[in-house]
Amino acid sequence: MDLYEYQGKELLRSYGLETLPGVVAGTPEEAARAAETLGGTVAVKAQVLIGGRGKAGGIAVVHNATEAREAAERILGMDIRGHTVRRVYVEGGAEIEKEYYLSITVDRAAKRPLILFSTEGGVDIEEVAETKPEAIVRTHVDPLLGLLPYQVREIVFSAGLTGDAAKGVGRTLNSLYKAFEGLDASLVEINPLVLTKDGHVLTLDSKVTVDDSSLYRHTDIADLHDVEAADPQEQRAQEVGLQYVKLDGNVGILGNGAGLVMSTLDVVAQAGGKPANFCDVGGGADAEKISTALDIVTSNEQVESVLFNIFGGITRGDEVARGLLSAIERTGIELPIVVRLDGTNAEEGRRILAENTPDNVHTEETMLDAARRAVELARGTRDSDGGR
Amino acid sequence: MAILVDSGTRLLVQGITGREGAFHTGRMLESGTNVVAGVTPGKGGQNHDGIPVFDTVAGAVAETGANASVIFVPPPFAADAVFESLDSGMGTICCITEGIPVHDMMRVADFIGTKEATLIGPNCPGVLSPGKSNVSIMPRDIFTPGNVGVVSRSGTLTYQIVNELTQRGIGQSTAVGIGGDPIIGTNFIEILGKFEEDPETECVVMIGEIGGNAEQLAAAYVQNEMKTPVVAYIAGFTAPEGKTMGHAGAIVSGGESTAEAKSEALRGAGIRAATNPSEVAELVAEALGR
């Protein structure tokens, strides 16, 4: 779960990280009042759960309340890479001496937390990694021991820091590791971490991602989930425990098992089609669950055909076929549906489908044939009703 | 021969009285797996399908000599169940549980380094050696004994591919689901190494997906260390950046984690990489000279 900048900063502050004072605003008036209260030069920053807001014009540095109002008027409602800005964060200014980069991530290959620190802050770290890899200090932490004091010294001194910078970055590192652990984060990133002219080390921009699997023990964080910002179909899927990701094509896809569904999306693309979504209905042949999934997939208006790819494992093909028929009947879907059923008792399942299917349901034996058929049918729908 | 589990496996089921644990214990028994004990704290002394239930893993090991365990414990308690199993000297541990926090798994992974044990999973379907032992939730009917080893990050995609192999008359030595989480006990390389040493395995199918760089590391290993032919398949070419595609570990977050980058690395290492599941079976037939 990704957090907004203002939410992440509030959590980081509770672990002792220093930030600038800031206020969240949902309207230009609130932004103006915030600028007034904070005083002096402030930044008006778009709050979106995606990177690249600076380049998209989502950050403005302003000098008074009037300018803050104007900036908020412009930024609120902006679309940044498909995300609508509904709040801005108005944050006080600072005199910056130096910008650093600091992050802690989960290194999947090493199976340990990885700290990255660089004195080249404020820019894209992947770019630094390519052009100036020697400017990045990398340190793995033993998760059972935690971050040790000597490791902090190694990071700080090998980056060439001294004085206030060394002390401030060292303190930040300790606090950030505690936050990473305490929040069950999969990423905490500060870019830039700044050294101010008066010797403070401050978190200027930060990104916090909390591991979804840990949310059961962080209900306060789970409550921060922004229902309004979520895609309505994704939100509904999440509420009923379905794995659903919306995409921008016209072939709706359902299947059982994450890997099989991912593979189905790929095969549809190879057949010249565009998948409209990812949807994993999980194991079993529960007609109610399949109905809900079908309903979610087809409530996306772009969907023009549906491909249902099922591999009968422990749940036998005949049970799946019955569950599916009942779900189709319940939802009353008229769009063309292509069903591909394979695995245990697949023949029996296909026979049941063939004997009972309504006209809009087509069965295919292989994944490839099913994908081709679904792609053709999606084109057909569009042609016949004038490309709605 | 097979890898990880065979007829010498004496299996303990952690969470044997839960819904999933009970159901799959029955199926494993039907496959002829030697299930010797179950553990459910507070239910020690009971009997489940004729299997004695214990309160603790240590108690079960002392009584039954269990040497492998399979875990069906809910996510908040699953890491503890792995620690318990490790501390009782288990040699092979399959953790089926999906949804264990990443930080818990980092601690588990760290601790395994101090033990002589292999953890498969979590968030995996387990390990099945057709006709020998079944420590898994995989549908055994689609398998047939043979010489192809299968290692995969995905359950249903494994079934799909195994089914295509079986339909072509190509049997399997062992199928290992290593799991779809970001942090897993055993990665491709360790399993590939075991297949390389297994005299019965003549070809290996490796099924990967988006997220992380385990496939790239495996590609280098196959190129440098293996004589056994490997056929690979990667899922997730159409996955958008930053979205979790069902498995917690299946997320594109940077260049290396894409399906394109993985496929390129595999082909660059001279590995046959299929573009769809059906093609996997064709390439295996070709590698085996059939």
Listed by start position, the domains of chain A span 21-92, 96-222, 232-384
Q: Which of A173-182, A272-281, B223-232, B249-258 has the lowest mean pLDDT?
A: B249-258
One-letter amino acid for residue A312 of the chain: G
- Cβ-in-10-Å burial (0-12, 13-18, 19+) of A158 comes to exposed
Q: Which residue has the tokens 């029955």?
A: B26
Q: Does domain A232-384 have CATH number 3.40.50.261?
A: yes
Interface test with A, best of B24, B27, B97, B103 (most A CBs within 10 A): B103
Name the H helices within chain A: 5-14, 28-38, 65-75, 125-131, 149-158, 163-182, 219-222, 232-239, 258-270, 287-298, 317-331, 346-356, 367-384
Check CB contact of A214 with chain B, cutoff 8 Å. Answer: yes
Nearest CB partner across the interface for B245, out of A181, A213, A278: A278
Residues of chain A in contact with residue B107, where contact means CB-CB under 8 angstroms, are 143-144
Reading the block at residue B35, the tokens are 């299930």
* A210 has pLDDT over 50: yes
**Mean pLDDT of all residues belonging to chain A:** 92
Question: Which distant-in-sequence residues (6+ apart) come within 8 Å of A1 by Cβ?
Answer: A209, A210, A211, A212, A215, A221, A222, A224, A225
Q: pLDDT tens, B25-83?
A: 999 999 999 999 999 999 999 999 899 999 999 999 999 999 999 999 999 999 999 99
Residues of chain A in contact with residue B155, where contact means CB-CB under 8 angstroms, are 257, 259
Distance CA(A268)–CA(A275), nearest Å, equals: 7
Indicate the Cα dihedral angle B184, B187, B188, B194, nearest 10°.
Answer: -120
Residue A3 C-alpha, separation from nearest chain B C-alpha, in angstroms? 14
**What is the model's pLDDT at position A387?**
37
**What is the model's pLDDT at position A385?**
44
Distance CA(A234)–CA(B18), nearest Å, equals: 30
Q: pLDDT tens, A51-109?
A: 889 889 999 999 999 999 999 999 999 999 888 999 999 999 999 999 999 999 999 99
Residues of chain B in contact with residue A142, where contact means CB-CB under 8 angstroms, are 110
Distance CA(B26)–CA(A170), nearest Å, equals: 55
The H helix count followed by the E strand count for chain B is 9, 14
Inspect the interface and report whether the beta carbons of B75 and A213 lie closer than 8 Å: yes
**Closest residue in A to B241 (Cα–Cα):** A50
B135 C-beta neighbours (distance < 10 Å), count: 27
Nearest CB partner across the interface for A262, out of B103, B105, B209: B209
Question: Which distant-in-sequence residues (6+ apart) come within 8 Å of A378 by Cβ?
Answer: A250, A251, A273, A304, A305, A336
Reading the block at residue A262, the tokens are 């991912």
Residues of chain B in contact with residue A106, where contact means CB-CB under 8 angstroms, are 102, 106, 182-183
* A203 has pLDDT over 70: yes
Nearest CB partner across the interface for B238, out of A144, A186, A266: A266
Buried b vs exposed e over A93-114: b needs ≥16 C-beta within 10 Å? ebeeebbbbbbbbbbbeebbbb
**What is the model's pLDDT at position A188?**
97
Give the homologous superfamily in CATH for domain B11-120. Answer: NAD(P)-binding Rossmann-like Domain (3.40.50.720)
Domain regions of chain B by residue span: 11-120, 138-287
Residues of chain A in contact with residue B153, where contact means CB-CB under 8 angstroms, are 259
Reading the block at residue A157, the tokens are 């001194």
Nearest CB partner across the interface for A213, out of B102, B138, B239: B102
Residue B63 C-alpha, separation from nearest chain A C-alpha, in angstroms? 31
- Give, as one character, the DSSP assignment of residue B2: -
* A386 has pLDDT over 70: no
Percent of chain B with pLDDT strictly greater than 70: 100
Inspect the interface and report whether the beta carbons of A257 and B250 lie closer than 8 Å: no
- The pLDDT of A204-226, averaged and rounded, is 95
Inspect the interface and report whether the beta carbons of B102 and A143 lie closer than 8 Å: no
Nearest CB partner across the interface for A368, out of B102, B248, B276: B276
Check CB contact of A96 with chain B, cutoff 8 Å. Answer: no
- Do A70 and A27 meet the contact criterion of CB atoms below 8 Å apart? no
Among B121, B75, B76, B116, smallest CA distance to B94 is for B121
Q: Quick check: bond before A192 cis, omega within 30?
A: yes
- The pLDDT of A244-253, averaged and rounded, is 95
A55 C-beta neighbours (distance < 10 Å), count: 10
Among A66, A122, A80, A74, smallest CA distance to A98 is for A122
**What is the model's pLDDT at position A314?**
74
Q: Any idea which residues of A carry the catalytic annotation?
A: 101, 189
* H-helix or E-strand spanning residue A196: strand A185-196
One-letter amino acid for residue B120 of the chain: I
* A137 has pLDDT over 90: yes
DSSP conformation letters of A65-123? HHHHHHHHHHHTT-EETTEE---EEEEE---EEEEEEEEEEEETTTTEEEEEEESS-SS
- Do A136 and A125 meet the contact criterion of CB atoms below 8 Å apart? yes
Q: Which of the four pLDDT bands, split at 50, 70 and 90, describes residue B4?
A: confident
Residues of chain B in contact with residue A366, where contact means CB-CB under 8 angstroms, are 278
Inspect the interface and report whether the beta carbons of B278 and A261 lie closer than 8 Å: no
Q: pLDDT tens, A261-281?
A: 999 999 999 999 999 999 998
- Do A285 and A318 meet the contact criterion of CB atoms below 8 Å apart? no
Q: Quick check: bond before A275 cis, omega within 30?
A: no
* A384 has pLDDT over 50: no
**What is the model's pLDDT at position A347?**
85
| The dihedral sign for the CA sequence A80, A82, A86, A89 | negative
CATH topology of domain A96-222: D-amino Acid Aminotransferase; Chain A, domain 1 (3.30.470)
Reading the block at residue B87, the tokens are 């501390």
* A359 has pLDDT over 50: yes
**What is the model's pLDDT at position A241?**
83
- Give, as one character, the DSSP assignment of residue A171: H
**What is the model's pLDDT at position B1?**
58
Report CA Rg, chain A.
26
- Do B21 and B13 meet the contact criterion of CB atoms below 8 Å apart? yes
**What is the model's pLDDT at position A388?**
36
Give the architecture-level CATH label for domain A21-92.
Answer: 2-Layer Sandwich (3.30)
Q: pLDDT tens, B268-285?
A: 999 999 999 999 999 999
* A383 has pLDDT over 80: no
Q: Any idea which residues of B carry the catalytic annotation?
A: 247
Give the homologous superfamily in CATH for domain B138-287. Answer: Succinyl-CoA synthetase domains (3.40.50.261)
Question: Which distant-in-sequence residues (6+ apart) come within 8 Å of A140 by Cβ?
Answer: A107, A110, A112, A113, A114, A115
Q: What is the largest CA-CA distance in chain A?
A: 80
Distance CA(B151)–CA(B149), nearest Å, equals: 7
